[in-house]
Structure 1
Amino acid sequence: MRLPNLFQTRNGRFAAFFLLYVTEGIPLGFAATAVATQLRRQGVGPAEIGAFIGLFYLPWAFKWAFGPIVDVFAIERLGRRRGWILGTQIVMVATLFATSFLKLPEQLWLFSAILLVHNTFSATQDVAIDALAINTLDEQERATASGVMFAGASIGQMIGGSGALLVTSWFGFQSSFYFVSAAILLVTLFVVLPMKEAATPPRVRAAGSAMAAAGREMREFAVTAFKSFMGTRGAFVGLFMSLLPPGAMCLGLALQSNLAVELGMDDGAVATMNFWSTLIGAAGCLSGGLIADRFDRRHALTWYILLMSIPVFVMALVLQHFNWIMPIAPDAAKPDVPTLLMTAFWATTLVYAFFNGMMYSATTAIFMDVTNPVVAGTQFTAYMAMFNLAISYSATWQGISIEAWGYPGTMIVDGFYGMLYLLVLPLTRKRPGDVAADNALAPGRARKLGLVLALLCLAWLPVHALESQFGAAKDIVNILFTLVFIASALFLLAGAALLGAVAGRLTRIGAWFSPLLLLMQVRNYQDGLAAKLGVSTQSLGATLDIFLYGVPLLAAVLLWQMSRHAWADLAMPSTTEGEAGDTALPDAKLAAAS
């Protein structure tokens, strides 16, 4: 029997993209809920689980880099996008199947590495699916398709989280790997294989190799994105805002899974909680979006973030009241769990899920507001990628904090840290007046950003010298400076592309120097590196200190020198936020589903 090509009809296209997004949600739900729960049950600490979840989200923070690769490299016979989707799903199934043979928690490092590969291909699939949707959907279908894809991702997370936990409770943890692999494979067999991608004109390539074409395209992406970020005040503020968690995050990440295990919930109970919180969160997305469209969305988002904090603070107080402070090992004797404590955990988790959904819909709408319609897909995807990075580092620092400060302290800090979002939110509002005048301020914004990054690189010097005094907070500080070094490297690359001949030797040095800033991550692996080299940690540390002090110091000098230039090319005469009506907005809405 020949399977139907779903792309032939309007409803078929909606069904196809719904199911494709289900396959994107499955890995996230499986890692954040099912695997995190089992790791905690097997004695893995909150810090390790937080790092595992943070690592799993990391490819989504850098998925923008996969776009030029997906665009340039393709097997036309399979379909420019369909070939990528088919290939990535096969690798996703293969990597999940491979992890089923590993023994946890002894082989957690290999398990994490394989799942990182799995999620990298999942993020690549997301890029290909978005590109396919833009080329396939009619303009009047895109907004509806965006909502359908959101629903698909939520259902996928339920399948990977609640579904896998239910299967675990019936047949054991090993069976959950086969369950999620089969779920993805069914979509591959019944949706992707019979799919017939619409024919597109042959791609006209510039002279040179495909690799060179990909490099040029990535460079053009970086230049366009950087100009868009600097172009208006809203876009510039959005750059920093996207790196902040919009409200408290802890009841939606690994802290919830850790606490569920310690409160004595079995896999069936955790699965039931995940099922209801996902459904309630989806309802929050719908209602939050409707309210934000009818009223001022910045005021609406302010209320959503404040309301998100209430269940977090309430649960922190309840835990403090019952003296449930520090994490308890799964094999340790557990005190009796008061009924009120368990009831409070259920209630706060479900209430939080609703307000978290409301927050997400309003946040994405505001990022659309500050996006330049000319490069809507590019800029909006970058905002969403950085938002995923905020989720990644939130999961990581919370795992560390739980072991250092306990559950209530972590939740209080998370609640107030999430409110920092409200300090920058008003600055995203479009200012009355001439848009071109706002755009003319772009060079000044670039100079300020370069100066701030230079000062932060200098701040690393005393921080590194005194790091032994930070105690448990050392790893959290390291996370923050990792963001600084990555941002500094990207700024140097942008300077090399935009300043060019104007800055001469400075830009060439900056372009070659930027990879050294990325190599600053070596500071987190000194012990393992020393063991592999057969030297003591102390002797290796003394050698590395030359690198760890020298690179940020030289980066600060380069950034400061770049901040002194005019950046005249940034004052581009292009359409900016709101000027082009809705011409590119559907693409931005579509990107929101990512």
Structure 2
Amino acid sequence: MKGRLGTLTALYVTQYLGVGFITVGLTAILRDGGTSLETLALLQIVGLIWPIKFLWAPVLDRYGSRHRGHYRSWLLVLQTALVLALLALLPFSRPAEQLGPIVAICAAFVFFSATQDIAADAVAVRLLAESARGVGNGIQVAASYLGNLLGGGACVLVYDRFGWVPAIGLLAGLTAVGLVVVWRFREPARIDRVARMATAYRALLSVFGQPGCRWWTFGVVPLVYVGAGMAYALVTPALVDAGWSLGRIGVVTGVVTSVPAIVAGLLAGLGVRRFGRGGVLVAGGAALALSTMLLLPLMNGRAPLGGTVAALCCFLAAYTIANVVLYTVNMDYSRPGSGGTDFTVLSSFGLVCSFVAASVGLAAADWFGYPAVAIASIVLVVAGVAAGLAHQRRFRRPPTPLVGTREQRSATDGAASVA
């Protein structure tokens, strides 16, 4: 199990390195080169590829190599594509003056990264027993912040000191570590029948037919994500209104707060195994409510450095804890025969909720003010936690054995028939 978790750690960290660089590091580099905020906003649009990746997830469940491993064959191609896309950035040492090719390469990288995430999630569904899913998803969520820290922080420092080529070379080298891990990885052979393409696409909807899945996906997930997302969407404009510089905001929200979030993700994963999904969800929800209250001085225009940084660290750590539980239950509902599709469509709905939350939160703040929206977000999170706890008590799922056992063969055969 340690080897499997190590493989998943390498996959998740390396896929987020480039994403962190594009969304945080490259944005800072371009802004330093004089790129307008409107142009930088257009760059962020490439991130919309992630919420729609469920559209091609069934292709990965349907096609794959029997000899090299069904999902491993995809990972070999996609990890190579991630490295090559980063290397393609090397000639553009003045990115602010060469935005066209930069944006095109970044869009390609985000597509490869999103597709790699489908394959990595499918591997996690197949490899992780129920007791290990919390740890696995804790690693996944923590990896997103670590990628943001390295890609958005460390690579910018290298760029500032040594220039564009060393920064991109470091990014490509770190990403290539994932390719080495995939090359050494031996995926267990699929023992379920590979469905036809039409059947694979029907899994996009049949996943919701499982007991309690609709309750979880369309009840618990929107309440928690919209509640937490509304509060988080207020942070940056509130900091600007309080007089913080863009540089300080970038360092604090992109780098400083990532460290406690990484720790929280790993601890939450261990907590799921020890205290269960419901217990950690309650802990995360309570921490979210408390940390949102700690943000109320900021929402009222008071933002002393120490207190504000502490409140933001607590909020992001609490958000991470809740996120780990949501991802873990999504994995519970992901069937081994269509793991890439199931986990992708469930997590993509959460991403859509996050985008909606940001829009709703900012629009509501314009009408009612920051504090009122923050209080409303607490109410939504508490309602989501209550609904999630009730869900976990009513829909307890039987333990899922590891891939390759006789019990797993029966489970995957049943999943194939459902799909």
Stretch moving more, 127-136 or 249-258: 249-258
Q: Choose from 232, 238, 249 the match for 2:232.
A: 249
Q: 1:245 to 1:48 in 2, by over 3 A?
A: farther
Counterpart secondary structure, 2:184: coil
- List runs of 5+ in structure 1 lacking aligned partners: 1-9, 206-212, 322-339, 436-576, 588-594
List alignment gaps of at least 5 residues for structure 2: 409-419
CA RMSD, aligned part only?
4.6
1:182 is matched with which residue: 164, 173, 183?
Answer: 173
Give the partner amino acid of 1:581.
Answer: P
Match of 1:117 in 2: 108
Q: Is contact 1:50–1:254 with CA below 8 Å preserved after alignment? A: no
- For 2:360 and 2:46, locate their aligned partners in 1 and report how far apart those are by CA, in whole Å: 14
1:583 and 2:400 are equivalent in the alignment: yes
Contact 2:78 2:115 in 1 (8 A): yes
Query: Distance between the aligned counterparts of 2:161 and 2:239, measured in 1?
Result: 22
Name whichever of 253-262 and 99-108 sits farther off: 253-262
Match of 2:377 among 390, 411, 418: 418
Cα distance in 1 between the residues matched to 2:243 and 2:169: 24
Indicate the structure whose relative CO is greater, using CA pairs within 8 Å and at least 6 residues apart. Answer: 2
Change (3 A) 1:185 1:356: same
SS of residue in 2 equivalent to 1:582: coil
Greater displacement, 120-129 / 276-285: 276-285
Distance 1:154 1:229, change over 3 A: same
Name the CA distance, whole Å, in 1 between partners of 2:115 and 2:103.
18
Local SS of the residue matching 1:117: helix
Structure 1 counterpart of 2:346, from 352, 369, 383:
383
216, 222, 244: which is aligned to 2:199? 216
The aligned residue for residue 257 of structure 2 is: 277
Q: Which residue of 1 is the match for residue 415 of structure 2? A: none
Match of 1:430 among 368, 379, 390: 390
Partner of 1:304: 287
3-state DSSP of counterpart to 2:88: helix
Cα deviation digits, residues 92-122 of structure 1 (max 9, x gap): 2222233444454455465334322211211
Q: 1:1-34 CA distances to partner (integer Å, 9 max, x unpaired)?
A: xxxxxxxxx4333322221111122123212321
1:52 equivalenced with 2:52 (yes/no): no
Does residue 163 of the first structure (1) align with residue 143 of the second (2)? no
| Alignment: residue pair count | 397
- 1:206-355 correspondence runs (5 A): 213-218=196-201, 220-228=202-210, 233-238=215-220, 240-241=222-223, 244-247=226-229, 248-250=231-233, 262-265=245-248, 270=251, 274-286=254-266, 290=271, 293=276, 299-317=282-300, 320=301, 341-355=304-318
Distance 1:302 1:362 in 2: 11
After TM superposition, give the deviation of residue 84 of structure 1 in Å. Answer: 0.8
The alignment-based identity, stated in percent, is 21
Matches within 5 A, 1:524-563: none
Distance 1:44 1:52 in 2: 11
Kindly indicate whether the alpha-carbon contact (under 8 Å) linking 1:61 and 1:389 is maintained by their aligned counterparts in 2: yes
Going from structure 1 to structure 2, the CA distance change for 1:368 and 1:56 (only over 3 Å counts) comes to same
Distance in 2 separating the partners of 1:77 and 1:260: 59
Q: Write the letter of the residue equivalent to 1:351.
A: C
1:64 corresponds to which of 51, 54, 61 = 54
8 Å CA contact 1:92–1:118 kept in 2: the answer is yes
Query: Which residue of structure 2 aligns with residue 532 of structure 1?
Result: none
1:401-437 Cα shifts (integer Å, max 9, x gaps) = 7xx97xx96x65763563463375244453799x8xx
Structure-1 separation of matches of 2:237 and 2:28: 8
Say whether the 8 Å CA contact 1:32–1:253 is kept in structure 2. no
The answer on whether the counterparts of 2:156 and 2:167 sit within 8 Å (CA) in structure 1 is yes
Q: Distance in 1 between matches of 2:328 and 2:133?
A: 15
**Structure 2 length as normaliser, TM-score?**
0.74
Cα separation, partners in 2 of 1:299 and 1:52, compared to 1, 3 Å = same
Task: Give the conservation status (yes or no) of the 8 Å contact 2:134–2:324.
Answer: no
Report the equivalent of 1:496.
none
* Partner of residue 15, structure 1: 6
Tell me which amino acid in the other structure corresponds to 1:280. Answer: P
Instruction: Report Cα offsets for 1:517-546 as digits up to 9, x if no partner.
Output: xxxxxxxxxxxxxxxxxxxxxxxxxxxxxx
Q: In structure 2, what residue type is equivalent to 1:69?
A: V
Q: TM-score, normalised by structure 1?
A: 0.55
Distance in 1 separating the partners of 2:350 and 2:402? 19
Paired with 2:324 and 2:4, the residues of 1 have a C-alpha distance of: 23
Q: CA deviation at 1:310?
A: 3.2
The CA distance in 2 between the partners of 1:204 and 1:379, in whole Å, is 15
Q: Cα deviations across residues 113-132 of structure 1 (Å, max 9, x unaligned)?
A: 43222112111111212223
From the superposition, tell whether residues 430 and 376 of structure 1 become closer, same or farther in structure 2 (CA, over 3 Å): farther
Larger radius of gyration: 1
Cα distance in 2 for residues equivalent to 1:113 and 1:229 = 42
Q: Is residue 86–residue 168 contact of structure 2 (8 Å, CA) maintained in 1?
A: yes
Instruction: Report if the CA contact (8 A) 2:236-2:249 is conserved.
Output: no
After superposition, residues 473-488 of structure 1 pair within 5 angstroms as none
d(CA) in 2 for partners of 1:125 and 1:104? 26
